[in-house]
Structure 1
Amino acid sequence: MDAAEPDSSPHSPRTRWEHCLAWADLLVIRHIERPRTDDGPLTEAENATFHGDERPLIVVLIATALHERMTHFALPDDELHLVPLGAPGEEGVTGTLRRHPYQALENTPVPAGPGQAEVHRLLNAARSDHPDDRGLWDRIRSVAREAVVDVATFAGSRHAGRRHPLAQPSGTYWERGVMMADVLLGEQHRRQAAPLATVFGDDG
Structure 2
Amino acid sequence: MNDFSADVDPIAQFSDWLAEAGKSEPNDPNAVCLATSTPDGFPSARMVLLKGHDEHGFVFYTNLESRKGGELAANPKAAMCFHWKSLKRQVRIEGQIEPVTAEEADAYYASRARDSRIGAWASQQSRPLQSRFELESRIAEYVAKFGLGRIPRPPFWSGFRLVPVRIEFWRDRPFRLHDRMIYKRNLKDEPWTTERLYP
Fold-level match, TM-score > 0.5? Answer: no
| Structure with the higher fraction of residues in strand conformation | 2
Q: Report 1 or 2 for greater relative contact order, CA contacts < 8 Å, sequence distance ≥ 6.
A: 1
Structure possessing the higher radius of gyration over alpha carbons: 2
| Structure with the higher fraction of residues in helix conformation | 1
TM-score, normalised relative to structure 2: 0.32
